[in-house]
Amino acid sequence: MGKDEAKGKDEGKKLTKANSGYNFEGRILTRQMQKKETEERNKRLRTDEEDDEREEQPEVTTLDEAQLKMIKRMIDNSMAKMKKEMLEERRQHEKEIQDLKKQITALEDELEGVQKTMRKKNLIIQGIPEDQLETKTETVKKVMELLNEELGLRDEPFVVTEIKRIGKKTERPRRILVTTERERDVETIMRVKSKLKQCGQEIYINRDVSPRTARKMAEERRKKKQGDQREAENRYKTPRNHRNSTSA
């Protein structure tokens, strides 16, 4: 029995030693497997991240020549359509402006007619001196003396209904508005107004006209003056011999 027990103990030791070796090798194998699994897991993670990055990046496509021509044609068509619409809108606005101008002209003509009718019995006298504290009575006296004495209308049958100065006071004497009872009274005064020029007085009598008509008359006088100046210059530039031969 002693030998058997010793033999059993030796075998137990061997078995224990063998089991210890097996456990050590198992731990190494386990560690290797864990390492491999970790590497595979990391590899899968990197692969997933790369896939995500590829999904996030926009896909770049290359257009061929036909597609580029189609896009250019679409842009050109859109631009042409916009240009056409803008031109049409501009023509419409211009037409509306022209219509408004015609309406304004028609209203001005109508107003001109009304004013002309209202002003037919009026006269405007310029150049009569104005005193600093001149009253309306004094103005009436000056105008009636001019008409009766200077123009010799004392015995003429004309009737004046109102005489007053118009405009703001300045260094120059204001104009005087004379209103008569009848249109023929205006004609009576206009017929003899040239006597003022003959007397050398710088007093002017004119019909009362609207601002529009006054501008037209001023423009006509300006053009006539320019024409007279050009004619005088042409006469001055013409050689004397040529003038003599022409007159002969």
Question: Tens digit of pLDDT for each residue in 70-83?
Answer: 888 899 999 999 99
Instruction: For residue range 87-110, list pLDDT tens digits in order.
Output: 999 999 999 999 999 899 888 888
pLDDT tens digits, residue range 201-222? 789 999 998 888 888 888 888 8
DSSP count for the chain of H helices, then E strands: 7, 4
pTM of the prediction?
A: 0.51
pLDDT for residue 248 is more than 50: no
pLDDT for position 5: 55
Instruction: Give the lowest-confidence range in 41-50, 52-61, 162-171.
Output: 52-61
* Residue with the larger pLDDT of the pair 143 and 2: 143
pLDDT for res 10: 58
In this predicted model, what pLDDT tens digit does every residue of 137-160 receive, in sequence order?
Answer: 999 999 999 999 989 898 888 899
| 124, 173 contact by CB (below 8 A) | no
Segment 171-212, tens digit of pLDDT: 899 999 999 999 999 999 999 998 888 777 789 999 998 888
**Per-domain boundaries in the chain:** 70-119, 120-219
Please answer whether residues 192 and 152 qualify as being in contact, where contact means their C-beta atoms are separated by less than 8 angstroms: yes
166 pairs with which residues across the strands? 175
User: Could you give the CA distance from residue 145 to residue 166 in angstroms, rounded to a whole number?
Assistant: 19
State the residue for tokens 């597609």.
67
- According to the model, what pLDDT value does residue 55 have? 59
- Give exposure, 160-178, as e/b (b: 16+ Cβ within 10 Å): beebebeeeeeeebbbbbb
Beta strands at 160-166 and 122-126: parallel, antiparallel or unpaired: unpaired
At position 100, the amino acid (one-letter code) is L
In 3D space, the residue among 130, 123, 132 whose CA is nearest the CA of residue 158 turns out to be 123
Q: Which two tokens stand for residue 142?
A: 């000056």
Q: Determine the Cα–Cα distance for residues 93 and 85; give it in Å rounded to an integer.
A: 12
Q: What pLDDT score was predicted for residue 135?
A: 95
Q: How much is the pLDDT for 186?
A: 93
Instruction: Give the contacts of 156 (CB within 8 A, at least 6 positions apart).
Output: 188
In CATH terms, 120-219 corresponds, of 3.30.1950.10, 3.30.70.1820, 3.40.50.300, 3.90.1310.10, to: 3.30.70.1820
Cα four-point dihedral sign 32, 35, 39, 41: positive
